[in-house]
């Protein structure tokens, strides 16, 4: 079921609370941009500092705002297997089309531990698609390709968001899993290379800001227009890098607030607003791309 551009959507805050009206407006913008789906409560959505109740509310708002016009893949993973399984059950009941399961952070489980973590969540939500999320730079652990292949035998576990930027790793997953496992890039800058070895889409940070351009990039590749896809990718390379000058989602929140005026750039501690130097570099990148940054957020 996974194919195309999925936006790892930011969670807008206002005065310390989730701004649900802003979230609905941001979701509407993504739908208008033609994305295949939105992914609430992921890394870019600051899931690590959302309470379980807040996560449920964010997923509910996203599902309601989407209204069946694209997929909703809810971030349900954490370093607590029981809590992850509970959230997965709720997300399915709320109408999410599937769940994204990050590998447990801080605990540093073994490969067998990661397998049983995912298995417990899958068993709690039978016949519900699960997207594995491998981001060792955040979690401190990495799913081995052999473990991915083992997980591919579980009902519902049929895709992986690979944020390693390691094409050798992705290739090994593709060889071991074949059609049992759909590969999605977890990094915008690695998306086109990953597609070249069989990837089927991207869970994108950049599409928060430029959904139409990310969709155009995927569409060009999917239609076999590699020259156009390459040109679109290379034009966006400065933005892909700029969004990680400081820790995500600081830069993308800063830019979305100023470009759209639909939300504030407020982050939740321990995340803090980008520094003045970063803001200036981001402004220059956006100017080169023709992205207007009216100072909506002060």
What gap in Å lies between CA 19 and CA 127, rounded to an integer? 32
What gap in Å lies between CA 90 and CA 76, rounded to an integer? 9
Catalytic, out of 6, 55, 115, 161: 161
Give which of 44, 61, 50, 60 is closest to 83, Cα–Cα. 50
Give which of 203, 263, 222, 242 is closest to 28, Cα–Cα. 263
What gap in Å lies between CA 298 and CA 296, rounded to an integer? 6
Antiparallel, parallel or unpaired: β 182-185 and 157-162: parallel
Residues 6+ apart with CB under 8 A from 112: none
Per-residue DSSP letters for 197-219?
Answer: TT--EEEESGGGT-HHHHHHHHH
Whether 88 and 52 have beta carbons less than 8 Å apart is answered as no
Say whether 169 is catalytic. Answer: no
What gap in Å lies between CA 138 and CA 135, rounded to an integer? 6
Catalytic, out of 6, 55, 115, 133: 133
Say whether 133 is catalytic. Answer: yes
What gap in Å lies between CA 265 and CA 46, rounded to an integer? 13
Phi/psi-derived region of residue 8, left when phi > 0, alpha when psi is between -120 and 50, beta in every other case: beta
To the nearest 5 percent, what fractions of the chain are helix, strand and coil? 50, 15, 35
Residues 6+ apart with CB under 8 A from 186: 133, 134, 135, 161, 162, 163, 164, 202, 203
Active site residues: 133, 161
């Amino acid at each position: 079921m996974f194919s195309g551009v999925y936006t790892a959507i930011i969670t807008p805050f206002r005065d310390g609370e989730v701004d649900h009206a802003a979230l609905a407006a941001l979701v509407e913008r993504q739908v208008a941009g033609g994305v295949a789906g939105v992914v609430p409560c992921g890394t870019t959505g600051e899931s690590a500092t959302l309470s379980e109740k807040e996560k449920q509310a964010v997923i509910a708002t996203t599902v309601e705002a989407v209204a069946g016009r694209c997929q909703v893949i809810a971030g349900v993973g954490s370093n607590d297997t029981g809590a992850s399984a509970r959230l997965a059950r709720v997300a399915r009941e709320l109408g999410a089309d599937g769940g994204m399961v990050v590998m447990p952070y801080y605990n540093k489980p073994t490969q067998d531990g990661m397998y049983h973590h995912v298995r417990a969540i899958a068993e709690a939500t039978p016949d519900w698609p699960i997207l594995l999320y491998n981001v060792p730079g955040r979690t401190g652990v990495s799913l081995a390709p052999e473990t991915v292949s083992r997980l591919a035998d579980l009902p519902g576990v049929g895709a992986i968001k690979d944020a390693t930027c390691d094409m050798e790793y992705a290739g090994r997953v593709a060889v071991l899993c074949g059609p049992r496992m759909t590969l999605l890039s977890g990094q915008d800058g690695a998306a086109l290379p990953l597609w070249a070895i069989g990837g089927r889409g991207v869970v994108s940070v950049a599409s928060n800001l430029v959904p139409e351009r990310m969709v155009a990039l995927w569409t060009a590749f999917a239609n076999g227009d590699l020259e156009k896809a390459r040109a679109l990718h290379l034009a966006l390379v400065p933005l892909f890098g700029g969004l990680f000058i400081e820790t995500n989602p600081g830069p993308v929140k800063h830019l979305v607030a100023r470009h759209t005026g639909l939300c504030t750039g407020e982050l939740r501690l321990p995340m803090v607003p980008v520094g003045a130097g970063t803001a200036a570099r981001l402004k220059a990148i956006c100017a080169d791309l023709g992205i207007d940054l009216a100072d909506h957020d002060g």
